[in-house]
C-alpha cells in the first residue's frame, strides 16, 4: 500500500548488497516465519493496560490511495515515560489522531516522509513501510502515534560487531527470564552521528547515511564497552532489517544495521572494567538473543 520502489531505492543507497537485506528491508516483505515471530514478540502488549492495536479490519481504517490512509482515533499510544523530561527541541510533536486530520505534522517533515516513499495518514504522519502486512495480521496490528520514540518515521539503530582475530567483543543485557545474557553493543542513532543539529533534524534533514550509521555503531561501542575503534579500522554494514516489537508503532519504527569493525593487531583491546563487556572466542559463543546471533552470523559467517 505504499511506494515500495522508492523505499527500496533509498535502502539500496545505504546497503547496495541485496544479500545483506533482511526482514522488511528493501523489497523484502515479512515472511510467514517473520510474522510468527513478530506475533510472539508483541503478544505481551495486546492485553489489559495497553492501547488497542489497530487492524486493517477495523471499520474506521482505510486506504484512500497507495500513499494515503485514514487512521481512526482510539489507538494512540501517548504520554510514554521515555519522552518525559526530554528537551522539546529533541522531540517530534505528538499528534493525537482525529478524524478531521487536524493538527498537521509540519510541512518540512511531511516533505521528508514523502521523499522516503512512506504512505501518510490524514495528519501527515508516516506509516510503517510494511503496514499493509502488519495491520492485516490479526495477531499483530500496531498502535498509533509516537509511543516511546523521539521521532516520527524511521530511526536508526546500529549494532557493533568488533572482531579481533578469532574473538568478538560482547556486552550483557538483562532479560526477564534468563538473567544477564551476552549481547552486541549498540543503540539508537542521534542527529550528531550524522553531523546534523537537532534543529535541522526537526526540519526534515534526517536521511541516514553509511557514515552516520557507522558513527552510531562506533559511538555505542565506546559508550558501552570503553573500546575505541581506531579511525583506520575497517568498518562495513553487513546486515539491515526492519524488526517489529512491542516498542514499534504505526508511525514510529526502526531500521537496525549491523556494523562489523575489523580491529588490527595495533588496537588497544582493553575494555572498561565496570562495563560488563568481554572478549569471547567465536568458537565458544553461548546463548544469545536470536536476532543478535543472526547479526553475528552475518558479520562473521
DSSP lists the bridge partners of residue 239 as: 258
Of the candidate ranges 24-28, 92-96, 149-153, 193-197, the one whose mean pLDDT is the lowest: 92-96
Q: What is the CATH number of the domain that holds 253?
A: 3.90.79.10
Placement of cell 573500546 in the chain: 227
Position 117 pLDDT exceeds 90? yes
Task: Report the pLDDT averaged over residues 205-219.
Answer: 97
Contact of 182 with 239, CB cutoff 8 Å: no
Task: Report the pLDDT averaged over residues 182-203.
Answer: 95
Contact of 53 with 42, CB cutoff 8 Å: yes
Please give the pLDDT value at position 1: 45
Which of these three, 102, 136, 170, is where a domain ends?
136
Position 179 pLDDT exceeds 80? no
Number of structural domains (the chain) is 2
User: Is residue 108 situated within a structural domain?
Assistant: yes
User: Is residue 39 situated within a structural domain?
Assistant: yes
- % of the chain surpassing 70 pLDDT: 98
User: Is residue 144 situated within a structural domain?
Assistant: no
pLDDT digits (tens, 9 = 90+) for 264-292: 877 888 999 998 899 999 877 777 778 88
Position 100 pLDDT exceeds 70? yes
Q: What is the mean pLDDT of the chain?
A: 93
User: Is residue 3 situated within a structural domain?
Assistant: no
User: Is residue 167 situated within a structural domain?
Assistant: yes
Do 158 and 296 belong to one domain?
yes
Residues of the domain holding 48? 31-136
Alpha-helix residue ranges (DSSP H) falling in 74-233: 107-115, 131-136, 198-202, 210-225
How far apart, in whole angstroms, are the C-alpha atoms of residue 185 and residue 224?
A: 6
How far apart, in whole angstroms, are the C-alpha atoms of residue 83 and residue 238?
A: 31
Identify the band that residue 178 occupies on the pLDDT scale cut at 50, 70 and 90: low
User: Is residue 2 situated within a structural domain?
Assistant: no
Do 179 and 127 belong to one domain?
no
Do 119 and 184 belong to one domain?
no
Of the candidate ranges 45-54, 81-90, 210-219, the one whose mean pLDDT is the lowest: 45-54
Which of these three, 84, 105, 136, is where a domain ends?
136
Q: E-assigned strands of the chain?
A: 62-65, 68-70, 153-164, 167-175, 179-183, 186-188, 234-241, 252-262, 278-281
Do 192 and 66 belong to one domain?
no
Position 2 pLDDT exceeds 60? no
Task: Report the pLDDT averaged over residues 105-117.
Answer: 96
Which of these three, 110, 136, 162, is where a domain ends?
136
Considering only residues 32 and 296, tell me which one the structure prediction assigns the higher pLDDT: 32
Do 95 and 197 belong to one domain?
no
Do 157 and 279 belong to one domain?
yes
User: Is residue 146 situated within a structural domain?
Assistant: no
Task: Report the pLDDT averaged over residues 126-154.
Answer: 97
Please give the pLDDT value at position 44: 86
Contact of 153 with 251, CB cutoff 8 Å: yes
Do 261 and 204 belong to one domain?
yes
pLDDT digits (tens, 9 = 90+) for 64-81: 999 999 999 999 999 899
Do 256 and 178 belong to one domain?
yes
The one-character DSSP state at 298 is H
Please give the pLDDT value at position 262: 95
Do 168 and 270 belong to one domain?
yes
Do 168 and 109 belong to one domain?
no
Considering only residues 290 and 91, tell me which one the structure prediction assigns the higher pLDDT: 91
User: Is residue 12 situated within a structural domain?
Assistant: no
- % of the chain surpassing 90 pLDDT: 77
Do 132 and 159 belong to one domain?
no
Position 210 pLDDT exceeds 60? yes
Do 172 and 293 belong to one domain?
yes
Contact of 63 with 57, CB cutoff 8 Å: no
Please give the pLDDT value at position 282: 80
Amino acid at each position: 500500500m505504499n511506494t515500495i520502489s522508492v523505499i527500496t531505492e533509498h535502502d539500496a543507497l545505504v546497503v547496495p548488497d541485496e544479500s545483506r537485506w533482511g526482514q522488511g528491508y528493501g523489497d523484502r516483505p515479512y515472511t510467514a516465519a517473520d510474522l510468527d515471530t513478530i506475533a510472539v514478540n508483541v503478544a505481551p502488549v495486546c492485553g489489559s493496560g495497553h492501547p488497542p492495536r489497530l487492524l486493517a479490519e477495523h471499520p474506521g481504517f482505510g486506504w484512500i490511495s497507495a500513499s494515503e490512509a485514514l487512521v481512526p482515533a482510539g489507538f494512540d499510544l501517548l504520554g510514554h515515560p521515555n519522552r518525559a523530561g526530554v528537551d522539546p527541541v529533541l522531540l517530534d510533536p505528538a499528534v493525537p489522531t482525529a478524524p478531521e486530520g487536524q493538527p498537521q505534522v509540519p510541512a518540512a517533515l511531511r516533505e521528508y516522509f514523502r521523499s522516503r516513499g512512506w504512505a501518510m495518514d490524514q495528519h501527515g504522519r508516516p506509516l510503517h513501510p510494511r503496514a499493509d502486512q502488519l495491520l492485516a495480521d490479526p495477531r499483530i496490528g500496531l498502535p498509533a502515534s509516537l509511543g516511546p520514540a523521539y521521532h516520527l518515521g524511521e530511526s536508526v539503530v546500529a549494532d557493533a560487531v568488533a572482531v579481533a582475530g578469532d574473538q568478538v567483543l560482547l556486552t550483557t543485557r538483562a532479560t526477564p527470564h534468563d538473567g544477564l545474557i551476552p549481547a552486541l553493543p549498540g543503540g539508537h542513532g542521534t542527529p550528531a552521528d550524522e553531523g546534523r543539529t537537532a534543529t535541522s533534524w526537526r526540519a526534515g534533514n534526517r536521511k541516514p547515511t553509511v557514515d552516520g550509521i557507522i558513527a552510531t555503531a562506533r559511538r555505542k561501542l565506546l559508550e558501552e564497552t570503553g573500546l575505541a575503534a581506531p579511525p583506520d579500522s575497517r568498518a562495513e554494514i553487513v546486515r539491515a532489517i526492519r524488526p517489529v516489537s512491542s516498542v514499534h508503532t504505526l508511525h514510529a519504527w526502526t531500521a537496525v544495521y549491523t556494523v562489523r569493525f575489523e580491529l588490527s593487531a595495533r588496537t588497544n583491546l582493553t575494555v572498561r572494567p565496570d562495563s560488563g563487556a568481554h572478549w569471547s572466542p567465536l568458537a565458544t559463543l553461548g546463548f544469545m538473543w536470536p536476532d543478535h546471533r543472526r547479526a553475528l552470523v552475518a558479520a562473521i559467517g
